[in-house]
């Protein structure tokens, strides 16, 4: 193991410089579970609006029905981050949360497409989102735990590659089952088509298998090892036996966010506003604007839903490929500038939904969206890790998630009324709003962020 050296950050914390560098296979093992998590997440984002509308939800109600996601993230991720920072046992620090969340997520994936009425689907969606949140943020902290600063862009880029590949497979699955394997893609009114249900079943199995691979193929540094990498500091409070009221500590950590994290939080807020609009309105926009006003439950609407799955697969495929380039591009141009350029590309992709009624041209739009998505999943975390104390990496990753879920709450709370009043004849106008949000994020991220 290499010797430990220390550097001081502007905030006065010691930056980790002594962790051993890991090989590419070991880095891949750290994040392979995210391949499975993203399969579940992609099935959710590509199909939940379709399931809700199939069970009778109006387009105006979709944002409110989607509110389960941001609400659970707001509540669950900081708590899970706090607990995972203080967990150490036979199975390690983060890995128990990976495995528990995967079991619950797989169960929810089976329940969701079999819901017989709308509110049962909403409950299953809520369970799925809670479960994914239990697994997701410990995976973010896990990369920070295990990698030295100089490998973190690579680590999060590898995570993004798995995210992209998993989402590509999951988003395209309903179309593949229908058009390649001949699984029925139409169903009576109020019934989720068989090809969608089968995609959820396969996704449940893949999720659990991928997370289990990470659990079995990795080991975690002990609290003592992490302390030694940070300069021989005492073990974290839970190890030393000190007791601090969790709510008081969480509030204190929120108020004491490092300056780097505050800047990144605002950029994340506007970035995720744009993507949440896409996930909620992708199917109804394409069904109406590009498939001739297709109504929920019709054959044309189901075809539009499968097509949106392919579009989501395309942007995730672009993200997976583009993630290979992020580390060398960031080394040459800087993480901040590269992130801003990628967000501008995403804004152009969103806005281009309005420029054509030919659905085939939307694949070009997905190139820019995929570039932005790869960057959103990689650059903020690579910039953030070096500014955080190692003992609180989990809880700060959970707090950072506030600025992913708060924009989703805003979108869920206001976008229904916006669409009803501003775009009553064609909901495609929401994509211009999504593009504008990414442009704001790009303008805020152009300047150097690091402390």
Show the domains of the chain with their CATH numbers.
22-445 (1.20.1250.20)
CB 55, CB 117: distance < 8 Å: yes
Q: 3-57: per-residue pLDDT in tens?
A: 333 333 333 333 444 788 888 899 999 889 889 998 998 898 888 888 998 898 8
Q: How confident is the model at residue 449 (pLDDT cuts 50, 70, 90)?
A: low
Q: 112-124: per-residue pLDDT in tens?
A: 999 888 989 988 9
**90: DSSP letter:** T
Residues in CB range of 12: below 8 A, 6 or more apart: none
Chain position carrying tokens 């007791």: 243
Lowest mean pLDDT among 272-276, 317-321, 388-392, 412-416: 388-392
Going by C-alpha positions, the residue among 433, 114, 84 that lies closest to residue 285 is: 433
CB 165, CB 176: distance < 8 Å: no
Total number of residues shown for the chain: 451
How many other β-carbons are positioned within 10 Å of the β-carbon of residue 289?
21
| Percent of the chain whose pLDDT exceeds 70 | 88
Beta strands in 45-175 (DSSP E): none
Mean pLDDT across the chain: 83
Looking from the CA of 226 toward its CB, the CA atoms found within 13 Å total 23
Lowest mean pLDDT among 73-87, 297-311, 341-355: 73-87
* Backbone angles phi and psi of 15, in degrees to 5: -85, 140
Q: Residue 343 has what pLDDT?
A: 97
Continuous segment of H or E residues that includes residue 261: helix 259-285
Cα 364 to the chain's mean position, in Å? 22
Residues in CB range of 123: below 8 A, 6 or more apart: none
As a whole number of angstroms, the distance between CA 159 and CA 67 comes to 26
| Percent of the chain whose pLDDT exceeds 90 | 28
* Backbone angles phi and psi of 6, in degrees to 5: -125, 145
Chain position carrying tokens 């910039």: 383
Residues in CB range of 450: below 8 A, 6 or more apart: 260, 335, 336, 383, 386, 387
Q: Residue 376 has what pLDDT?
A: 92
What is the average per-residue pLDDT within 438-448? 87
As a whole number of angstroms, the distance between CA 51 and CA 88 comes to 40
Going by C-alpha positions, the residue among 84, 37, 394, 27 that lies closest to residue 212 is: 37
**92: DSSP letter:** B
Q: Residue 240 has what pLDDT?
A: 41
Q: Residue 417 has what pLDDT?
A: 85
Q: Residue 11 has what pLDDT?
A: 36
**DSSP string of 121-137, one letter each residue:** HHHHHHHHHHHHHHHHH
What is the average per-residue pLDDT within 51-79? 79
Does pLDDT of 210 surpass 50?
yes
Determine whether 295 is exposed, middle or buried from the number of CB atoms within 10 Å of its CB (0-12, 13-18, 19+): exposed
How many other β-carbons are positioned within 10 Å of the β-carbon of residue 355?
11
In order of 74, 204, 367, the CA distances from 335 in angstroms are 27, 35, 20
CB 38, CB 361: distance < 8 Å: no
């Amino acid at each position: 193991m290499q010797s430990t050296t220390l550097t001081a950050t502007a905030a006065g914390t010691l930056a980790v410089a002594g962790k051993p560098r890991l090989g590419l296979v070991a880095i891949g093992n750290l994040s392979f579970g995210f391949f499975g998590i993203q399969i579940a997440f992609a099935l959710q984002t590509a199909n939940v609006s379709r399931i809700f509308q199939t069970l009778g939800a109006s387009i105006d109600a979709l944002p409110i029905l989607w509110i389960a996601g941001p609400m659970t993230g707001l509540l669950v991720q900081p708590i899970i981050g706090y607990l995972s920072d203080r967990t150490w046992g036979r199975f390690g620090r983060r890995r128990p949360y990976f495995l528990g969340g995967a079991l619950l997520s797989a169960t929810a994936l089976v329940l969701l497409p079999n819901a017989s009425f709308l509110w049962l689907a909403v409950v299953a969606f809520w369970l799925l989102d809670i479960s994914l949140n239990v697994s997701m943020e410990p995976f973010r902290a896990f990369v920070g735990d295990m990698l030295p600063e100089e490998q973190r862009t690579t680590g999060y880029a590898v995570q993004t590659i798995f995210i992209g590949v998993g989402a590509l497979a999951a988003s395209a699955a309903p179309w593949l089952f229908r058009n390649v394997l001949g699984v029925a893609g139409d169903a009576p009114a109020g019934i989720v088509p068989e090809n969608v249900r089968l995609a959820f079943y396969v996704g449940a199995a893949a999720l659990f298998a991928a997370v289990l691979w990470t659990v079995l193929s990795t080991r975690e540094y002990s609290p003592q090892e992490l302390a030694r990498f940070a300069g021989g500091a005492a073990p974290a409070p839970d190890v030393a036996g000190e007791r601090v009221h969790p709510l008081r500590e969480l509030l204190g950590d929120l108020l004491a966010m490092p300056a780097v994290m505050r800047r990144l939080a605002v950029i994340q807020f506007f970035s995720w506003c744009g993507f949440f609009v896409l996930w909620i309105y992708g199917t109804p926009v394409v069904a109406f604007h590009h498939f001739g006003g297709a109504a929920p439950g019709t054959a044309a609407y189901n075809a539009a839903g499968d097509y949106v799955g392919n579009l989501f697969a395309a942007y995730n495929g672009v993200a997976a490929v583009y993630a290979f380039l992020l580390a060398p591009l960031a080394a040459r141009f800087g993480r901040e500038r590269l992130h801003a350029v990628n967000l501008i590309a995403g804004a152009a992709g969103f806005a281009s939904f309005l420029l054509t009624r030919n659905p085939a041209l939307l694949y070009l739009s997905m190139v820019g969206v995929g570039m932005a998505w790869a960057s959103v999943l990689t650059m903020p975390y690579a910039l953030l890790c070096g500014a955080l104390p190692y003992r609180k990496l989990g809880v700060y990753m959970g707090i950072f998630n506030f600025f992913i879920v708060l924009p989703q709450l805003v979108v869920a709370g206001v976008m229904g009324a916006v669409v009803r009043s501003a775009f009553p004849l064609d909901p495609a106008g929401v994509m211009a709003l999504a593009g504008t949000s990414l442009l704001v994020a790009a303008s805020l991220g152009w300047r150097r962020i690091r402390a």
